[in-house]
Structure 1
């Protein structure tokens, strides 16, 4: 998949992390049905690899479905075998090297300028700015883009609908959103509430200029 293009087109990456495998799978179904076509399943989720494999079967080979919290080389290999089309890492490590060797597109975690350079040198398709809120949110992205104007940053961590719109306005091709969007849906919570949050996030991101 062309991850860079997908990020620019979709703009919103849902991060599913849950304690109930069936609920996580149902969450993915709802996200896809409601128009969120870029989904990351964290490997810290209950039966994450099985959830990825089943979601891949249901959504088809072209769905932008990836694995998150990829840390080790084994994580990358297992995610690839389960059908992940891309990987997301919290930082630089063996998972990045293995994903690169497997030809998997990567969103590599970084926070400081030094880490951004390392992620780019490793062949990252995009840089996961994480935890974005801890460093000042959208204003930190704005500052980082001065020395790195061509780096596609995907802010993750504490992204709500308002800050998500501002990140996009400041040049991020997409934002990654976990609990502010998913809530308790992947733990067995109300899918109706999830649908309402999806609409709010899609509305907010649509307001940001491309």
Structure 2
């Protein structure tokens, strides 16, 4: 009697894996993306999650892919329905992220060859997504557990690939990557007030600091 076949598992995009840093861009309006993404790309950011909580993100995505897609991975985040997933696939997103544990979304994404990073916190939630074919699993909210959680998960699930999200600051990024996270997902601690008219030079300095830490962190 043979065991279950291994699930299809689309790999995360190479630039995301190489940079080990996903920046979560949650803007007030899709038209606000460009000025911030310009600075992020110039600072060396190579993976950006555009969230569906920003109105008209899907409408803006073709323009952003044309402008930045040759140098950075653009994912769609806050995907919570099969309709959202289908639109992300059709629009050419490089990956999708969801804050929830949904076997249906994971299977549909994997079957379509779309890298997906679903959220969860408990071992049951995270393993459910991983065993279903997730490209990696998002520990959310990461601040509730801490970097030591990677070792805890790797005990029963030695191959699981994790991406912490939620309150990950510069020191946290270093700690999570050193603990074995495949990447970190960062929002407010890097973006600050950039989407509210904040100083773009300060944004670039913060982004450069995160890029440097993620490049230097030892797995």
**Does the pair score TM above 0.5?**
yes
Tell whether the 8 Å contact from 2:13 to 2:73 is kept in structure 1 after alignment: no
Q: Which residue of 1 aligns with 2:25?
A: 16
Tell whether the 8 Å contact from 2:46 to 2:71 is kept in structure 1 after alignment: no
Pick one of 90, 95, 113 that aligns with 2:105: 95
Structure 1 unaligned runs (5+)? none
Q: Indicate yes or no: 2:80 matched with 1:38.
A: no
Q: Indicate yes or no: 2:82 matched with 1:73.
A: yes
Shift of 1:30: 1.7
Q: Which residue of 1 aligns with 2:172?
A: 163
Shift of the 79–187 alpha-carbon distance from structure 1 to 2, 3 Å rule, reads: farther
Q: Which residue of 2 aligns with 1:153?
A: 162
Q: Indicate yes or no: 2:116 matched with 1:106.
A: yes
Q: Indicate yes or no: 2:131 matched with 1:121.
A: yes
Q: Which residue of 1 aligns with 2:144?
A: 134
Shift of 1:4: 6.2
Shift of 1:2: 4.1
Query: Which range moved further: 137-146 or 41-50?
Result: 137-146
Pick one of 35, 57, 62 that aligns with 1:26: 35
1:74-116 deviations in Å (ceiling 9; x for gaps): 1111122222111011122243343234321111112111112
Tell whether the 8 Å contact from 1:42 to 1:69 is kept in structure 2 after alignment: yes
1:24-81 deviations in Å (ceiling 9; x for gaps): 2222222112111111111111321123222101123574111011110011111222
Pick one of 56, 60, 84 that aligns with 1:51: 60
Equivalent-residue separation in structure 2 for 1:31 and 1:204 (angstroms): 15
CA RMSD of aligned residues (A): 1.9
Equivalent-residue separation in structure 1 for 2:112 and 2:34 (angstroms): 26
Equivalent-residue separation in structure 2 for 1:178 and 1:64 (angstroms): 16
How many residues in Structure 1 have an aligned counterpart in Structure 2?
A: 209
Structure 2 unaligned runs (5+)? 1-9
Tell whether the 8 Å contact from 2:41 to 2:72 is kept in structure 1 after alignment: no
Superposed structure 1 runs of 4+ greater than 4 Å apart:
none
Q: Which residue of 1 aligns with 2:201?
A: 192
Query: Which range moved further: 23-32 or 163-172?
Result: 23-32
